[in-house]
Chains A and B, each alone.
Chain A
Amino acid sequence: RKEVEQDPGPFNVPEGATVAFNCTYSNSASQSFFWYRQDCRKEPKLLMSVYSSGNEDGRFTAQLNRASQYISLLIRDSKLSDSATYLCVVNFGTASKLTFGTGTRLQVTL
């Protein structure tokens, strides 16, 4: 079983739609969680950290469910510019190494 699992997609949604991605992780001792965004042929960039109580940044909401070992990302009012691959990232241990999921591709269309 992969340490961090994501549905690869693609998720094809129209502009203005709401879309949600989930990501599951295998290690219950995981300490911190992030969503990164990667545009085609570009480097990953931090989208947002994920806090235990859930957090929001504009149209983006991240949630953490430790009991079920998953994190989620909700995007409201999707824009064409949201088209990208979204990487779920988990820090498992004391070395603070990050483990990346393989990403979920989102395509927002007119």
Chain B
Amino acid sequence: DVKVTQSSRYLVKRTGEKVFLECVQDMDHENMFWYRQDPGLGLRLIYFSYDVKMKEKGDIPEGYSVSREKKERFSLILESASTNQTSMYLCASRESLAKNIQYFGAGTRLSVL
């Protein structure tokens, strides 16, 4: 079974803090994704990565950055957290472009106060 692990289930941070969300997958997948999920808006893509050290902006990248130094790990960084970044964050991985099935981690519920 594919396993996608997010480092925290719940996080509470203060406005202006730098926040790191970590995601690790154990299936040697090439592609990884970060989404946020909000009521009424569904899942929205923040950033994705096709391979190590590669990254592409998704639909809502503002206020976020990412890092992929190793194939198995994809980090989402909030440089200066704001209250409108309070959300559920979901990481996903995919074997390759050709095999377009994404496997999700359990999610991190981030509250920014």
Contact = CB atoms under 8 A, between A and B. Distances in A.
Given A42-B106, A43-B90, A43-B107, A102 B40 contact: yes
A103 B37 CA distance: 11
B41 A102 contact: yes
Interface stretch (A11-19, A58-66, A69-77, A89-97): A89-97
A55 interface: no
A97 B50 CA distance: 11
Contacts of B103: 46
Interface residues on A, range: 10 to 19
Nearest to A41: B107
Given A95-B56, A97-B48, A97-B58, A46 B42 contact: no
A95 B47 CA distance: 12
Interface in A34-71: 34, 42-46, 49
B97 A97 contact: no
A97 B107 CA distance: 19
Given A43-B90, A95-B56, A100 B104 contact: no
Across chains A and B, which 7 residue pairs bring their CB atoms closest together, nearest first?
Answer: A43-B104, A102-B42, A100-B43, A100-B42, A96-B97, A96-B100, A43-B106
